[in-house]
Amino acid sequence: MPAPRLLIAFAAAFAAHAAHAERPLACTDFNAHVNGAWEAATPLAPDRARIGSFDQLRQANDRLLGAALAELAAEPARQTSPGLQRLAAFYRSGIDEAAIERRGLASLQPLLERAGAVTREGLPALLGELARIGPDLPLRPGVGFDLNDSTRHRINIGAGGLGLPDRDDYTRSDAASQRLREGYRAYAKRLMAAAGTPLAEPALEALIALEAQLAAAHFTPVQRRNPQAVNNGRTLASLAAEAPGFDWKAWLTAYAGTTTPASFNLSQPEVAKALARLARDAPIEAWRDYLRLRLLDRYAPTLPAAFEQAHFDFRSGLVRGLKAQPTRAERVIATIGGPNGSAPLGEALGELYVGKAYSPQAQQRALQMVADIRLAMQRRIDALPWMSAPTKAAAQAKLAAMVAQIGAPAQWRRYEGLVIDPADYVGNVIRSERWWTQQRLAELPQPVDRTRWNTSANTVNAFAAGGNRIVFPAGILQPPFFDEMADDASNYGGIGMVIGHEITHHFDDRGRQFDAVGNLRDWWAPEDAAAYKARAEQVAQLYGRYEPLPGVRINGHQMLGENISDFGGLRIAFDGLQIALERRRAAGETIPLVDGQTPEQRFFTANAIIWRGKMREEALLNQLRTGSHSPGRYRVLGPISNMPAFAQAFGCRPGDPMAATEPIVIW
């Protein structure tokens, strides 16, 4: 017979299970309570790596844009601005697959030939010149905020140049990483063969060895999150002493031209050292193959089908699990807009979108929500028991100075000097990137314009941007996140939580290190910083216990900023709802139940709905290894289970999985 102690343990475990089984699903797994039926009924289409509220809204916005672009291209009378004229021509060049096949590599061939003939002496200048047009290279310069003085522009030099998704993919021994390495080798061979420069096995080995040595110098995702670690001012002279043997002046001059600055920021000095060493020691043929591959990889989606299909099979198929390509129109829209609408013609896409799908009434209601949630954050800062008065005053000053950008720019860019050829898709990408680099370099000596939009208005996302700004494009101010005709509870639980999340980003473990104007400056009393870090570590430990895939846990420190922002954002959005409800009651309104739910229940339900989603295993693994966001399920469970207001709204009691015994609170 089992020992009595073991019988007691079995009985206790059974009793705990039975207790949970008898409890409402809302109190044991709120994500399943709200999203379980949707997950069971919603298939994951072959051309999707994931599906969820964000993805469904992106698809709806892309369908709207696809129809609008077809009209725009077919009817010149609709092309009423310089941006729309260029947008129509760009779209025509991307949608005409026959013309793309006929043109082949013609627009890219001169760059491929220069890459294939580069000498060791000419390598630095060519790397600098190519950095103007966007291929993923070891060093990636760009004009942005000076981290130490946000009123000034500065050249910030990031690190890149890896063909695999993550630096550790070159060395991990697990089966998934081995598949990625094998797939990448096959992809490289396909691209180079299609370009007429096939890679023999020894050449491929040399190319992979070069990338692996670059990868070893890269920061981990956790290290990259530390703003102090990536804030490294350099001059040409100091960089030459630190990373000798590389013509840094030729590199920077080829990139910046006559605007070459006296100093710049180098985010990862070890990568610069590795580049200098490899430029000297690696076989020059390996560098030639590497540069050709980087060009082909960057532009493959805009080239003939042999290149585009190879790119899809690796980047979308193997890495993210897709089984089929999205529609041609979606792919062209993604090329024009770029990631988060940051490509040169992204703003023109936003101009077209806003004319179809955004109203002044929506903007006014969103502005009121921002005001309510900002007031909620103000009250929370005042009430923090662990923060001293001087640090509270600095936090309040930062919150008050925060600038909200909502909807779309007040004026649309005019694109002077940008030439778009309706018959040259890849050429349009190259020309627009070169034009955009020159535009940004011309701004280098100018003061920073805090009203600038760096994302397109059609984007389904929101941002905590440099200079203490929060940005909410028109594209996300749509159902299920926001509906100008809906009740407050659903809006505050949807876009309100997103607003709270972005506000909190400026106070997360990374954002808290910047002051009211966006400068990297320590404004915290030491004891307050220590108290903050202790609470942040609780969040990291909580998420580190979640295991989205067997044997693969969330890296609580890699995703800490997003998770802190979810924790804080949900709380201040909920408080913002209470402010809105108080205003309505003060005006004599009665707050009714909606669909049988109280406003508080509606709030939490709406929040769970925006994070619903299904994802392919490959895409989920890639997100866990390289991303900054926890999977949606845990964005529901973690913050909500640590909010006593949720337990009160749904009648959860101590011991229920959705009612933390000791809730984690930072803001």
- Is 543's pLDDT higher than 70? yes
Q: What is the DSSP string of 606-646?
A: HHHHHT-EEE-HHHHHHHHHH-SS--HHHHHHHHHHT-HHH
- The predicted model gives 395-408 an average pLDDT of 97
User: Which of 620, 405, 360, 478 lies closest to 62, judged by CA?
Assistant: 478
Sequence-distant (6+) residues with CB within 8 A of 17 are none
Q: Which two tokens stand for residue 366?
A: 């969103």
- The predicted model gives 649-662 an average pLDDT of 96
> pLDDT at position 360, please?
84
Strands 463-465 and 233-234 come out as unpaired
CATH of the domain spanning 109-302, picked from 3.40.50.300, 2.40.110.10, 1.10.1380.10, 3.90.79.10:
1.10.1380.10
- Is 399's pLDDT higher than 90? yes
DSSP 259: G
> pLDDT at position 361, please?
85
pLDDT confidence tier of residue 604, bands split at 50, 70 and 90? very high
User: In the block, which residue shows the tokens 């001087």?
Assistant: 390
**What tens digit of pLDDT does each residue of 59-97 get?**
999 999 999 999 999 999 999 999 999 999 999 999 999
Longest dimension (CA), the chain: 87
CATH 3.40.390.10 fits 358-409+453-650, yes or no: yes
**What tens digit of pLDDT does each residue of 31-49 get?**
999 999 999 999 999 999 9
User: Which of 566, 600, 564 lies closest to 497, judged by CA?
Assistant: 566
**Dihedral sign of CA atoms 611, 614, 619, 622 in order:** positive
User: In the block, which residue shows the tokens 């897709």?
Assistant: 322
- The predicted model gives 661-667 an average pLDDT of 96
User: Which of 301, 328, 327, 331 lies closest to 313, judged by CA?
Assistant: 301
- The predicted model gives 583-607 an average pLDDT of 97
CB atoms within 10 A of CB 54: 19
- Is 11's pLDDT higher than 70? no
User: Which of 210, 208, 215, 216 lies closest to 186, judged by CA?
Assistant: 208
- The predicted model gives 439-452 an average pLDDT of 94
Residue 549, sorted as left (phi over 0), alpha (psi -120 to 50) or beta, turns out to be: beta
In b/e form, how buried is each residue of 634-661, taking b as 16+ CB within 10 angstroms? bbbbbbbbbbebbbebbebeeebebbbe
- pTM assigned to the model: 0.94
**What tens digit of pLDDT does each residue of 475-495 get?**
999 999 999 999 999 999 999
Domain ranges of the chain: 109-302, 358-409+453-650
Are 297 and 135 in contact, with CB atoms under 8 Å apart? yes
The secondary structure element, H or E, covering residue 659 is: none
User: Which of 379, 337, 334 lies closest to 574, judged by CA?
Assistant: 379
- The predicted model gives 7-25 an average pLDDT of 46
Q: Name the percent of the chain lying above pLDDT 90.
A: 95
- Is 422's pLDDT higher than 60? yes
- The predicted model gives 286-293 an average pLDDT of 98
DSSP 447: B
> pLDDT at position 8, please?
33
Could you tell me the CA-to-CA distances from 520 to 148, 192, 226, 381, 402 in Å, in that order?
5, 44, 11, 21, 15
- The predicted model gives 276-304 an average pLDDT of 98
pLDDT confidence tier of residue 609, bands split at 50, 70 and 90? very high
Strands 149-159 and 264-266 come out as parallel
> pLDDT at position 15, please?
36
> pLDDT at position 81, please?
98
As beta bridge partners, residue 403 has 469
Are 309 and 186 in contact, with CB atoms under 8 Å apart? no
The secondary structure element, H or E, covering residue 268 is: none
- The predicted model gives 629-639 an average pLDDT of 98
Helix axes 560-586, 599-610, angle to 10 degrees: 150
Q: What share of the chain is helix, strand, coil (3-state, %, to 5)?
A: 60, 5, 35
Are 441 and 327 in contact, with CB atoms under 8 Å apart? no
